[in-house]
Amino acid sequence: MNATPLPEPACERCGTCCRKGGPALHAEDAHLFSGEDALELSAVVTFRRGEPMFDQVLGRAVPLQEELLKLRGVYGAWTCAHYDARSRACGLYDRRPAECRALSCQDTAPLAAMYAKNRLRRADLLPKGHAIHAVIAEHEALVPVERIAPLAELLRAGGQEGLDAQDELSRMALADKAFRKSLAERAGIAPEYHEFFLGRAAAALFAAAGLSLRDDARLGCRVQPDPLWRPEAASPNANLKSASEPLP
């Protein structure tokens, strides 16, 4: 006798996964950015290759191997901007992203199987041959994310190498600031789009590496170790969706 298959576990719409973070986007989500109800690029935050993220599957922070686009959060957190807390509903439900479709609280295997595959990149959402590609490439070269963590270590260790690291970090912070200013003033790209085109600002990247960034009247900016920062403070998030989560 054939056993009757058990019904799929139903989503109880508790909203936990949406409050813990919007999804990372995949190639099959590109449709969200075309057509009548297209999302603006300002709805997306770019996490650049080399940024440390908490990997839910591995259970530890690792540098991103490839850039990752994530739907923006609200309320100063990562609660998905498309989640309506009052009705506990998704504003994109009929066309919600692939990770949202894959996630089930009762069985995270389907999400774990797909979360690192076919991720959408900035270049996939920009016109081929547009001058903005060169701007992004120049920014990547002048503000290389993968340099931040090792330079932060040198700065914390002190000595001449620490001072040199502080100089390099300061140059990176100033270059990042200049790029964002230029995007707004010369290219007319409003600040709400900058986290898509250039990723998170230097202050956020430095904070994830335990550094604070302050304006300085003489030097332009000052980069210092944050005395309260502890690497282990980046606590795991039980949510698997957006299997890579930003560090605080």
The site for ligand SF4 (CB under 6 A) is made up of 18, 22-23, 80, 82-83, 90, 92, 96-97, 100
Phi, psi of 79 (to 5 degrees): -50, 125
Shortest Cβ 15–ligand SF4 spacing (Å):
8
Nearest CB to ligand SF4, comparing residues 96 and 200: 96
Q: How far apart are CA 137 and CA 119, in angstroms?
A: 19
Give the other-Cβ count within 10 Å of 205's Cβ: 25
Nearest CB to ligand SF4, comparing residues 97 and 199: 97
Nearest CB to ligand SF4, comparing residues 48 and 96: 96
Shortest Cβ 236–ligand SF4 spacing (Å):
19
Shortest Cβ 169–ligand SF4 spacing (Å):
34
Beta-carbon contacts of residue 119 (< 8 Å; ≥ 6 apart): 24, 25, 26, 27, 66, 67, 68, 69
Shortest Cβ 243–ligand SF4 spacing (Å):
13
- Buried b / exposed e over 6-18, threshold 16 CB at 10 Å, is eeeeeeeeebebb
Nearest CB to ligand SF4, comparing residues 21 and 50: 21
Shortest Cβ 204–ligand SF4 spacing (Å):
21
- Closest CA relative to residue 201, chosen from 226, 225, 172: 172
Nearest CB to ligand SF4, comparing residues 35 and 227: 35
Shortest Cβ 63–ligand SF4 spacing (Å):
24
Angle between helical axes of 159-185 and 132-142 (0-180°, round to 10): 160
Grouping H, G, I as helix, E, B as strand and the rest as coil, residue 123 is helix
Q: How many CA atoms lie within 13 A of 103 on its CB side?
A: 24
Q: How many CA atoms lie within 13 A of 158 on its CB side?
A: 0
Nearest CB to ligand SF4, comparing residues 15 and 50: 15
